[in-house]
Structure 1
């Protein structure tokens, strides 16, 4: 996401343009959920903006809107970064960070940096985990989700699934943006 190259998976470097702010905030469909300036308020079908700072991520209390709103790269990337940072804190940190403490970035460079920091925090939290911890129910105390009630290995599995599926969605949206909006001169 930061470019100018990325690891292709086969050991070679592949050109990759850094994500732009336009791409980060691109709403390919009407009523998309995204991150927004707090002063603008929540987007369509969202009831509040979660996070700290001048920007927030569209959210709604349970039960969430149905069908689920389409989410932008900004929404997905901030969701991943927050999840990694909060789970790292509730695994091997102060066990106190909340969604309301997490700062949402309004620009691509800040969002990519937040993701890198969140991933590093999660990797750090996992680095000291042994087999006993993996089997420990409630090893991660993150209060949103089933973390306090699950063996830690299940939490690790879930976080990996979130990174994989949202990461793939972000990659697809980047391809669509490059082929459509940016390719047509709109981005």
Structure 2
């Protein structure tokens, strides 16, 4: 099936942001922004779980329970790890979140949206496995991003205009044309990718003693 013309630039943007985030996390090089490769080491488990300040939300072992101001750990209860959360209304000001929290959130929304677009339309946060180490987390991101990309490739022009083509229950997807959902997912990837990149820089500076 030919890719609808309206989807082409959004798909290109998604592919670019996905590759840039993956390279930023795993190395061995990343694009500096001007086409120059910059060396970057792979993220460590300590960095993945680093809490830059007090009261951070992160992913935690279930036996330890939720972190500060969190009341639950999301994710499948059969897993060893969960992500800090609380039912609405959320804490104000919002807690600062670790790389682990942000990457888990991003991967989960990609995986669930893919399922609610061209999959079973049944997966919930309780079905998602939270990763406690960086290697598993990066692999889970790659799998989720690939699933979402396949969901995009399944959409024709009619689907792009269909309200509720994605039935993802944790957003406005059921009320939005699918094209708006595609745009929204791109901005999620772009802004969380930028946050993760900044946290990597801060972690490097902290341990460089500068």
TM range (shorter): over 0.9
RMSD value, Cα = 1.4
Q: Could you state the TM-score of these two structures normalised by the residue count of structure 1?
A: 0.94
Counterpart Cα distance in 2 of 1:30 and 1:11: 37
Report the count of equivalent residues: 184
Counterpart Cα distance in 1 of 2:130 and 2:47: 16
Instruction: From 19, 26, 29, give the equivalent of 1:5.
Output: 29
5+ residue gaps, structure 2: 1-24
Using the TM superposition, give the Cα deviation of residue 12 of structure 1 relative to its aligned residue in structure 2, in angstroms: 4.4
5+ residue gaps, structure 1: none
Counterpart Cα distance in 1 of 2:141 and 2:42: 14
Which range moved further: 149-158 or 75-84? 149-158
Does residue 183 in structure 1 map to residue 183 in structure 2? no
Instruction: From 64, 72, 84, give the equivalent of 2:90.
Output: 64
Using the TM superposition, give the Cα deviation of residue 9 of structure 1 relative to its aligned residue in structure 2, in angstroms: 4.7
Does the residue aligned with 1:100 lie in a helix, a strand or coil?
A: helix
Does residue 132 in structure 1 map to residue 134 in structure 2? no
Q: Could you state the TM-score of these two structures normalised by the residue count of structure 2?
A: 0.84
Structure with greater helix share of residues? 2
Using the TM superposition, give the Cα deviation of residue 131 of structure 1 relative to its aligned residue in structure 2, in angstroms: 1.6
Counterpart Cα distance in 2 of 1:43 and 1:7: 35
Counterpart Cα distance in 2 of 1:64 and 1:170: 22
Does the residue aligned with 1:159 lie in a helix, a strand or coil?
A: helix
Counterpart Cα distance in 1 of 2:36 and 2:136: 27
Instruction: From 34, 38, 41, give the equivalent of 1:17.
Output: 41
Which digits, 9 at most, give the CA deviation of each residue in 1:44-74, with x for residues without a partner? Answer: 0000000021000000000001110000000
Does residue 50 in structure 1 map to residue 74 in structure 2? yes
Which gives a bigger RCO, structure 1 or 2 (Cα 8 Å, sep 6+)?
2
